[in-house]
Chains A and B, each alone.
Chain A
Amino acid sequence: MVIIKISPLLDNTKARDKKNKLFRAFVIAMSFITVIPIILIIGKIIINGIGQINFNFFVQTSPDSLQAMTAIATNKVIPGGIANGITGTFLIVLMASVMAVPLGMMIGIYLYENQGRRYTNLIRNTSEILQGVPSIVLGIISYLWVVRNVTKGFSAFGGSVALSIMMLPLIIKSTEETMKMIPNEIKEAAFAMGAPYHKIILKVLIPTGLSGLSTGILLSLSRILGETAPLMMTALGSSIINFNVTKPTSAVPLLIWEFYNDPNMVNLVWSSALFLTVLVLTLNVLSRRIAAKIKIGIKK
């Protein structure tokens, strides 16, 4: 055996160690710089928005300009709240999910079951293109399809259609990825019992992948909650609480836009923004918690 000796000149352990430490400090500094804007944004929203958050904020509809102006002139908190926006958002998002979740899950399972086929790849690519379509374009499409031809006027349903098209690719993708994570043995075990195909999907695959599926749904919800542009062309907005899906309906992001256009309501912009941010963040954190808590598959 040949023993390789390292000459003292080549032994640069100390220099390498120094470089390593330098690089480490650099990376930490950079990551800190990235976090700063996030902290600044959230801090600003909280500081400016918290003053308007009270009970009425959640249960009353948005005030008109005059009420706001009087309140500001007398140094009071602006009366009213965003109840019309909260209920509208709830209505529109719920209806969008009812349409997009089952359809997206079915497509996702189909893609998973038929890997490598040309038709599968076509569907998957189309869905990815759909994900890249700007949301305002989906608003225009929904305006043409639904607002002009189905509800004959601005409506919550039109907004739901636009948002459900936005949700579809996200649900499809997360369903397919979740299904891929389920060990093949589980599926084979069900097949080896002679179970019919639809039972395997409904009673084995979907329950097994439930955590992944719900994570995908929650993430897609948080993605569409803040959408404004497609709703401007479809749901339009409303100053009253409305549960009729064929009528114009408000939503929190729409209200933020309206408040922004009224110099008397600036304070409400911040508190609505705070509400929306907290909602989206909660959904995000929740989906992460679910994903981390329930692991798919077999104990190893």
Chain B
Amino acid sequence: MIETLTNIENPILKVRNLSIAYETDRSAVKDINIDIESKAITAIMGPSGCGKSTLLRAFNRLHELYPYIKTTGKIYLNEREIHEMSTVELRRKIGMVFQRPNPFPTMSIYDNVIAGYKLNGIKLVRSEYDSIVENALINVTLWDEVKDSLFKKGTFLSGGQQQRLCIARTIAFNPEVLLLDEPTSALDPVATASIEDLLVSLKKDYTILLVTHNMAQAARISDNSIFMFMGELVEYGKTETMFTNPKDPRTEGYLTGKFG
């Protein structure tokens, strides 16, 4: 039987019988049951097309953008079913960072960080915005690099800086959970290392769900790992245990480079 690590105490997220289908009768994600540990990094890994990004995007109901995607099952955030929350509230609590850095191209660095407030029509006084921007940029270790050019366009930054800006934009809203969809796959090794350090330092405040097809990255920074294959959850456990002693032959095959 599949190990699902459902013995976590006070999980922040609980997934029950979650299936996601792009076409009828063809599920991209099949019947997932997992609990996610609070204030820890959980890596979701697996070969391309295994449904890891699809699973991640279910947590903030991004699939609802595309009417043909059918989601069934339940996800609880702190014991509340997310499909019964408003998307505004949910997405405020669960922020997302994408594969390719995507700062809003027409906005300055400053405006990008507070974009969540601006787009949701939350009006604050200037000094409050200033402190939000400063704190968010300090948290992503970008402050020293951009403090003199806060009003320049965010797209003039390097790829790694842009991605840190996107993380700043997400944590500026002070979410409980951070979803990251292969955040380093478009970056060079130096930028990747800085993002990884950043994620480790952010885990004391946020629950992080990280999709990656880079096994080494999962091994370096995650506390728990989920291995998915062909839409199924194959194995879920402590990262150390899974990498040293995988229980499922498919996990072992992936980790030893037999496929994927």
Contacts and interface: CB of A to CB of B under 8 A. Distances in A.
Contact of A194 (B89, B98, B100, B107): B89
Interface in A186-209: 186-196, 199-200, 203-204, 207-208
B155 A192 contact: no
- Which of A200, A208, A299 has its CB near the most chain B CB atoms (within 10 A)? A299
A234 B53 CA distance: 59
Nearest to B155: A299
Nearest to A210: B106
Interface in A249-271: none
Interface in B154-182: 155-156, 159, 162, 166, 169-170, 173
B92 interface: yes
B92 A190 contact: no
Contacts of B14: none
A298 interface: yes
A102 interface: no
- Which of A194, A203, A207 has its CB near the most chain B CB atoms (within 10 A)? A194
Interface residues of A, number: 24
B104 A208 contact: yes
Interface in A23-57: none
Contacts of B115: 190, 193
Interface residues of B, number: 35
B119 A204 contact: yes
Contacts of B95: 192-193
B183 interface: no
Contacts of B62: 188, 191-192
B105 interface: yes
A193 B102 contact: no
A210 B87 CA distance: 28
B92 A298 contact: no
Contacts of B60: 192
Nearest to B90: A194
B245 interface: no
A195 B105 contact: no
B88 A196 contact: yes
Interface of A: 183, 185-196, 199-200, 203-204, 207-208, 210, 296-299
Given A191-B65, A192-B96, A193-B92, 6 more contacts: A188-B102, A189-B98, A189-B104, A193-B95, A193-B170, A194-B116
24 contacts: A183-B102, A185-B98, A186-B104, A188-B65, A188-B102, A189-B102, A190-B104, A191-B62, A192-B91, A193-B91, A193-B92, A193-B115, A193-B120, A194-B90, A194-B91, A194-B120, A195-B120, A196-B120, A200-B119, A203-B118, A203-B119, A298-B100, A298-B103, A299-B156
Interface of B: 60, 62, 65, 87-92, 95-96, 98-107, 115-116, 118-121, 155-156, 159, 162, 166, 169-170, 173
